[in-house]
Amino acid sequence: MSLEVRTLEASDFAGWLRATRLGFHRPATVGDEEIELRRPYTDLARTQGAFDDGRCVATFRSMPRDLTVPGGAVLPASAITHVTVSATHRRRGVASRMMANELAATAERGEPLAILIAAEYPIYGRFGFGPAAGVTEWHVDTARAGLRPPGDDEDGRVELVDPADVLKSGPELHERVRVQVPGSINRNDRWWELFTGKVRMSADEPWKEPIFAFYRDSSGRVDGLAAYTVADEWHGMYPQAPLEIKNLIAATPAAERALWRYLLSIDWVTTVRTGFRAHDDVMPLLLADRRAARVDNSSDFLWLRFVDVPRSLAARTYAAPGTVVLDVLDPYGYAAGRFRLEVSPGGTATAEAAPSAAPDLTLTAADLAALYLGDESAVRLATIGQVTESRPGTAAQVDALFRTSRKPWAIDGF
Ligand SMILES: CC(C)(COP(=O)(O)OP(=O)(O)OC[C@H]1O[C@@H](n2cnc3c(N)ncnc32)[C@H](O)[C@@H]1OP(=O)(O)O)[C@@H](O)C(=O)NCCC(=O)NCCS
């Protein structure tokens, strides 16, 4: 099979989109509207296709994004998406070729990290990606939850708003929130247009306009946003409406508490599905009966790969001072080597290649990725023999350094 793998020309775009849809098992026909909406947001130089006799059979693209790391710094990350290989061409190394091209391009562009959302767990570990920020989804029985609506005891208030209000005030709120949440990325204008229904990507995707609510503090500042839909379901004369949260972000604890209380105490609503939240979301702690929140799904979500280890390690802050030499294994080479991480008493760090230093802990690039945002523990990985201590106690020391008060959360998929 002679396949041509290359970045796109403008004339390839419609065929590439068609292949993307087929790769995700969706109807192949692409409307002009979808082409027009996607084209300005697709950098062809970062978009690959594989062509068999001129027909696009595999797709791959990346987007520049800012990833928040512990401590609030943001790092440029290559956000990989639209990875598909047509069922007729799978398992012949096509995705591997495109990934190799992408990682080389990521290094060339000087982006220290690549990130993606894995459709299936086994796909990306071989390429040096590790599961770096997981998600949990709860199903809440509102009667058991026993929450009262937010009211006079709050300084701020919850108000229902229009999509136009969300377009106006949502981006600024999200910018404040995402730098507080390691694992999250920036949003572009198109994200907000799709979220509010201002534009629709394709007619075959079901759309129901969400109900939007803001939390405003006592000065009127928008500190929180919730978007949700409610299904009109009844059992005889008893309303049994399930509520589904599409998005809930809060810049302050007061906003977070108030929005949860609001969503979990709405008339007719008997169950609330939370959508993908951080593993350690505070919501269950707010409930009078915490068993009212059942975990529906808990899994890996955001995967991360180091392209520049010293820059990535130095960008985050740490919970304790100390020095550790990490011996990182990476068959692709980008993250391979020994690195000395030195954390000052203030929690800031320097990290540098130290090829002749004695290693304290040996681990794969994927394992370091799992530790990086605070999702995983080195002691857990040592217990299963996944990381190896050369100096006894290093795994616990790494945990003391890398520990974060809150779990990372990738607010958005991409
Ligand atoms: C996932 C996908 C892109 C892989 O493409 P591909 O060209 O078949 O992958 P490759 O041939 O380069 O695979 C390289 C290796 O990964 C393994 N692999 C690839 N996809 C896998 C999967 N879904 N599950 C388990 N292993 C997988 C292959 O078996 C191969 O292993 P080997 O080197 O030991 O033989 C393709 O199967 C696909 O389009 N799936 C449906 C859409 C999807 O899930 N896309 C990913 C979105 S995040």
Q: Which residues contact 117 (CB under 8 A, 6 or more apart)?
A: 81, 301, 302, 303, 410, 413, 414
* CA–CA separation, 187 and 179 (whole Å): 12
**Nearest partner of 176 among 252, 227, 246, judged by Cα:** 252
The response to whether residue 122 sits with its C-beta less than 6 Å from ligand 1 reads yes
What count of other Cβ atoms lies within 10 Å of the Cβ of residue 68? Answer: 26
Tell me what pLDDT residue 201 has.
85
How many CB atoms within 10 Å of residue 4?
Answer: 10
Split at pLDDT 50, 70, 90, the class of 105 is very high
Token couple for 83: 């990875």
Provide the angle, in degrees to the nearest 10, between the axes of the packed helices 365-372 and 394-402: 40
Give me the active site residues, please.
Answer: 124, 414
- Higher local confidence (pLDDT), 198 or 206: 198
Question: Residues with Cβ < 8 Å from 336, sequence gap 6 or more?
Answer: 328, 329, 330, 365
| Amino acid found at 399 | D
C-beta of 88 in contact with ligand 1 (< 6 A): no
User: Which CATH topology does 136-298 take?
Assistant: Aminopeptidase (3.40.630)
Ligand 1 centroid to Cα of residue 201, in Å, is: 27
Under DSSP, the state recorded for 19 is H
Ranges 22-31, 308-317, 322-331, 389-398: which has the least confidence: 22-31
87 in contact with ligand 1, CB cutoff 6 A: no
Residue 7 pLDDT greater than 90, yes or no: yes
**Residue 179 to residue 177: CA distance in whole angstroms:** 6
237, 173, 245: which is closest to 211 by C-alpha? Answer: 245
What is the average pLDDT across 117-129? 98
How far apart CA 83 and CA 99 sit, in angstroms, is 9
Atom of ligand 1 nearest to the CA of 99: 12
- 354's tokens: 């130290």
CATH topology for 309-402 is Nonspecific Lipid-transfer Protein; Chain A (3.30.1050)
Could you tell me if 305 and 130 are in contact, meaning their C-beta atoms sit under 8 angstroms apart? Answer: yes
Residue 158 has pLDDT above 70, yes or no: yes
Cα 400 off chain centre by: 24
Instruction: Determine the residue type at 275.
Output: G
Beta-carbon contacts of 399 under 8 Å, excluding residues fewer than 6 positions away, are: 377, 378, 379
Ranges of each domain in the chain: 4-106, 136-298, 309-402
Tell whether the model's pLDDT for residue 200 goes beyond 80. yes
How far is residue 280's CA from residue 381's CA, in Å, rounded to a whole number? 20
The atom number, within ligand 1, closest to the CA of 80 reads: 48
- CA-to-CA separations, 140 to 147, 184, 283, in angstroms, rounded: 11, 25, 10
For residue 58, which atom of ligand 1 is closest to its CA? 39
Residue nearest to ligand 1 atom 31, measured at CA: 91
Residue of 91, 101, 117, 304 to test ligand 1 pocket, by largest number of atoms within 8 Å of CB? 91
Q: Given a cut of 90, is residue 149 above it in pLDDT?
A: no
> Atom 12, ligand 1: which residue's CA is nearest?
93
Average pLDDT over residues 300-318: 98
Helix pair angle (189-196, 163-178), 10° resolution: 130
Which CATH number is associated with domain 4-106?
A: 3.40.630.30
Q: Is 209 exposed, middle or buried (0-12, 13-18, 19+ CB in 10 A)?
A: exposed
Q: What is the pLDDT of residues 159-187, one digit of tens each?
A: 999 999 999 999 999 999 999 999 999 99
- Annotate 106-173 with DSSP letters as a single string: HHHHT--EEEEE-SSTTSSGGGT-EEEEEEEEEEEEHHHH-PPPP-TT-SSEEEEE-HHHHHHHHHHH
Which structure tokens are listed for 259? 């929005």
Ligand 1 centroid to residue 238 C-alpha, Å = 48
Q: With 70 as the cut, is the pLDDT of residue 151 above it?
A: yes
Q: What is the pLDDT of residue 4?
A: 97
pLDDT band at 152 (very low <50, low <70, confident <90, very high): low
DSSP code string of 371-409: HHTTSS-HHHHHHTTSSEESSTTHHHHHHHHH--SS---
Query: CB of 203 closer than 6 A to ligand 1?
Result: no
Q: What is the pLDDT of residue 1?
A: 59
- In short, whether 19's Cβ falls inside 6 Å of ligand 1 is no
Residue 136 and residue 295 in contact, taking contact as beta carbons nearer than 8 Å: yes
Ligand 1 pocket, mutate which of 22, 25, 85 (most atoms under 8 A from CB): 85
Q: What token pair was written down for 72?
A: 């609030």
- The amino acid sitting at 35 is I
> Is the pLDDT at 146 greater than 80, yes or no?
yes
Q: Is the CB of 273 under 6 A from ligand 1?
A: no
Quick check: do 136-298 and 309-402 share a fold?
A: no
- What's the gap in Å between 302 CA and the centre of ligand 1? 18
